[in-house]
């Protein structure tokens, strides 16, 4: 690496003075992060050597430093134009997050380039590309954009290939995660495979990704949407499929051009759905209901709905349950609603479990978790819930507990509140922490903050300040301003064995001010 790049030397600057600036920043960083002292000393020696080399008092040697951020010459040369010296030190020392947004005013055209480089360091190639696209026109930025595109494509292809290997080994859940990752990286094959998935959420995400890519004139995405229609994926309607086929042909897709040249039209929806039904697709039964309703053929719609319900198709069960659960309608029947929700729950619906809990409220619209908070608020009602209401709330809580045990994150938070407030159950700080921590593990920032507060206070769990700070930091990086504020306070003054840290305090103070 060139000595000028190491020092980030600008025209007219003295190498020795610039080296001293770097060394002061390395020392200041090591004061805030004592464990980084060895690396700070190593980097300090490197800038001394670079200055001596430029002054002619040091023999030329290898100034590269592999394995350290900005150890690559191209990265250092680029970053030196966009970041201040203290920010470059933060990045080199492995704390690029501290440079995130430090001097970025809203609307600053150069801020997006800085953000793009930081996203690159995290391996978030697509995010980096989007940031760079908003930056000024510059040949070096264009080169980095192309690099991000190449990395995105390569990583997407790798994830897709690994997913196929896992599917052959019948490791479905692991394969699904990799397929989702590949699809989000723009891999069209992965997105199409997910769109054929029986999981409706995966299908919706995949179709959204394909439509976005088609909107960017990706011919493979256009043709994939056409092909999904022909495979009975009902959310892709005939008009969209036909438009996508012609768009793919116009963009040069060979197979699409052949089909349009031969005048091959779209097959009727019902024909496709019948094929899928005969092949055993439960979803096709539900889509046939929707198609019949769309065409005004209500008699056929009812017949297909009965078949979908008989097959325990989840959407059909939920739709029927919701129809029965609507008060004030001719169809209203609490008993029938609960029956269909139970069937949906047995088919794997977490939504059905919480809906069953809500149906336990026959005399009130106030949930157990709202009542728990209300009873401990300044506006608490004078009249406490009677025994009958408490019993209803206990039954609702029991269903929510089943949903939380099955992995539903929302119920985890409200269960934590219920146990913390002591309604409609006995107050139990350990259970309150348990559910907040479960939600934190599932990635919910509010649960992270709640669990961190309890860990900090030793409430319901043995006090653990390092773990509390870890959860605060995770929550803050997910946008939880209260967590950022608490971290600012902790790092400004210190807490127990956690020493004050001016860099971290400044970082979290900035995030507090973003509210």
Q: pLDDT digits over 107-120, tens only?
A: 676 889 999 999 99
Q: Decide: 429 and 438 in contact? Cβ < 8 Å.
A: no
Q: Which of 448, 389, 381, 379 is nearest to 413 (CA)?
A: 448
Enumerate the domain spans of the chain: 3-121, 150-275, 428-514
- Please count the other Cβ atoms lying within 10 Å of the Cβ belonging to residue 350: 18
Whether the predicted pLDDT of 356 surpasses 60:
yes
pLDDT band at residue 383 under the 50/70/90 scheme? confident
Q: Say what the pLDDT of residue 282 is.
A: 94
Q: pLDDT tens for residues 442-481?
A: 999 999 999 999 999 999 999 999 999 999 999 999 999 9
Place of tokens 């996508």: 244
Of 192, 223, 227, the closest CA to residue 208 belongs to 192
Residue 495 β-bridge partners: 498
pLDDT 10s digits, 161-192: 999 999 999 899 899 999 999 999 999 999 99
Tell me, what's the pLDDT at 128? 95
Farthest-apart Cα atoms in the chain, separation: 93
Task: Give the model's pLDDT for residue 192.
Answer: 96
Q: CA-CA-CA-CA torsion for 107, 108, 110, 112, nearest 10 degrees?
A: -30
Domain 150-275 class, CATH top level:
mainly alpha
Taking alpha carbons only, the member of 186, 232, 189, 178 closest to residue 209 is: 186
Beta bridge mates, 498: 495
Contacts of 217 (CB under 8 A, 6+ apart): 247, 251
Least confident among 119-123, 195-199, 284-288, 403-407: 195-199
Find the distance separating the first CA and the last CA of the chain, reported in whole Å: 41
Per-residue confidence band for 515, with pLDDT thresholds at 50, 70 and 90 = very low
Q: Distance between CA 42 and CA 379 in Å, rounded?
A: 61
Q: Does residue 195 contact residue 210 with C-beta atoms inside 8 Å?
A: yes
Tokens of 71: 């150890």
Beta-strand ranges (E) seen in 15-132 are: none
Q: What whole-number percentage of the chain has pLDDT above 70?
A: 95
Q: What is the pLDDT of residue 201?
A: 83
Q: Look at the chain and count its residues.
A: 515
Which pLDDT value is given to residue 58? Answer: 57
Reported as a pLDDT band with limits 50, 70 and 90, residue 101 is low
Determine the average pLDDT of the residues in 424-452: 97
Mean pLDDT of 408-426: 97
State residue 237 phi and psi, 5-degree precision.
-85, 165
Of the chain, the percentage scoring pLDDT greater than 90 comes to 80
Say what the pLDDT of residue 66 is: 57
Helix (H) or strand (E) run with residue 484 in it: helix 481-493
Question: Cα-flanking dihedrals φ and ψ of residue 410, to 5°?
Answer: -55, -50
Res. 361 pLDDT band, cuts 50 70 90: very high
CA-CA distance, 194 to 177, in Å (whole number)? 10
d(Cα 76, Cα 69) in Å, to the nearest integer? 9
Instruction: Find the angle CA(256)-CA(262)-CA(266) to the nearest 5 degrees.
Output: 65
- 104 vs 367, more confident: 367
What is the rounded average pLDDT for all residues in the chain?
A: 92
- pLDDT range class, residue 197, cuts 50, 70, 90: confident
Please answer whether residues 501 and 32 qualify as being in contact, where contact means their C-beta atoms are separated by less than 8 angstroms.
yes
Residue 199 is inside which H or E element, if any? Answer: none
Q: How far apart are CA 28 and CA 86, in angstroms?
A: 10
Q: In this structure, are residues 318 and 344 in contact, taking their beta carbons and an 8 Å threshold?
A: yes
> Which of 120-124, 247-251, 331-335 is predicted with the least confidence, judged by mean pLDDT?
120-124
Tokens of 41: 């000393």
Distance in angstroms (rounded) separating the CA atoms of residues 175 and 157: 13
């Amino acid at each position: 690496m060139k000595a000028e790049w190491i020092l980030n030397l600008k025209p007219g600057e003295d190498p020795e003075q610039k080296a001293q600036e770097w060394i002061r920043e390395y020392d200041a960083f090591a004061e805030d992060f004592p464990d980084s002292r060895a690396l700070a000393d190593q980097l300090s020696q490197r800038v001394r050597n670079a200055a001596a080399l430029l002054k002619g008092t040091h023999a030329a040697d290898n100034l590269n430093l592999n394995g350290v951020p900005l150890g690559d010459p191209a990265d250092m040369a680029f970053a030196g134009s966009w970041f201040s010296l203290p920010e470059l030190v933060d990045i080199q020392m492995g704390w690029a997050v501290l440079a995130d947004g430090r001097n970025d005013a809203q609307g600053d055209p150069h801020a997006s380039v800085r953000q793009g480089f930081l996203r690159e360091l995290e391996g978030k190639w697509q995010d980096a590309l989007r940031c760079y696209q908003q930056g000024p026109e510059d040949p070096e930025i264009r080169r980095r954009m192309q690099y991000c595109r190449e990395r995105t494509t390569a990583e997407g292809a790798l994830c897709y290939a690994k997913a196929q290997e896992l599917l052959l080994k019948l490791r479905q859940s692991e394969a699904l995660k990799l397929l989702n990752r590949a699809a989000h990286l723009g891999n069209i094959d992965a997105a199409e495979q997910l769109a054929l998935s029986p999981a409706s959420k995966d299908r919706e995400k995949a179709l959204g990704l394909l439509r976005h890519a088609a909107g960017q004139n990706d011919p493979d995405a256009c043709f994939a949407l056409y092909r999904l229609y022909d495979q009975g994926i009902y959310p892709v309607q005939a008009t969209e499929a036909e438009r996508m086929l012609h768009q793919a042909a116009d963009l040069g897709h060979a197979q699409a051009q052949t089909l349009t040249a031969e005048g091959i039209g779209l097959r009727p929806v019902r024909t496709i759905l019948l094929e899928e039904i005969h092949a055993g697709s439960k979803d096709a039964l539900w889509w046939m209901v929707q198609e019949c309703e769309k065409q005004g053929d209500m008699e056929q719609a009812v017949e297909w709905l009965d078949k979908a319900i008989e097959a325990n198709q989840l959407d059909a069960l939920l739709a029927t349950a919701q129809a029965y659960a609507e008060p004030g309608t001719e169809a209203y029947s609490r008993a029938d609603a609960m029956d269909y929700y139970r069937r949906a729950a047995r088919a794997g619906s977490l939504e059905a479990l919480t809906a069953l809990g809500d149906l336990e409220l026959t005399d009130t619209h106030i949930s157990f978790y709202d009542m728990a908070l209300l009873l401990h608020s300044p506006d608490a009602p004078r009249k406490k819930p009677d025994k009958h209401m408490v019993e209803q709330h206990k039954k609702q809580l029991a269903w929510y507990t089943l949903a939380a045990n099955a992995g539903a994150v929302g119920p985890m938070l409200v269960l934590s509140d219920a146990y913390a407030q002591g309604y409609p159950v006995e107050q139990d700080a350990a259970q309150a922490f348990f559910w907040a921590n479960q939600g934190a593990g599932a990635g919910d920032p509010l649960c992270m903050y709640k669990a961190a507060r309890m860990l900090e206070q030793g409430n319901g769990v043995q006090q653990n300040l390092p773990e509390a700070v870890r959860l605060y930091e995770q929550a803050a990086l997910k946008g939880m301003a209260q967590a950022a504020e608490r971290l600012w306070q902790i790092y400004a003054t210190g807490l127990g064995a956690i020493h004050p840290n001016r860099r971290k305090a400044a970082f979290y103070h900035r995030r507090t001010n973003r509210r």
